[in-house]
Amino acid sequence: MFSKYLTEIKDVSIFPILVLVVFFLMFISTIYWVIKLSKNYRNKMKNLPLEEDQDKLNNSENLNEDR
């Protein structure tokens, strides 16, 4: 079904190239963004799962102490 429509489009062969270029640019920009992140922000994000677990642990300990 779609092949019929795609064959009727003029210069349809340019679409895969454009998609590849857009993907590549997004990939490169993401890599650039990650490299340019500040160290403080990276460390904060790296420790975030541990901080959440620690907060939950502290909350559950506080609940147990109230009983």
pLDDT at 12 (0 to 100): 76
* DSSP, res 67: -
CA 29/CA 22 separation, integer angstroms: 11
Per-residue pLDDT at 46 exceeds 80: yes
Model-level pTM greater than 0.85?
no
Which two tokens mark 23?
A: 């993907």
What Rg value do the Cα atoms of the chain yield, rounded?
A: 25
Amino acid identity of 39?
Answer: K
Q: Which residues, 6 or more positions from 12, have their beta carbon under 8 angstroms from its beta carbon?
A: 6
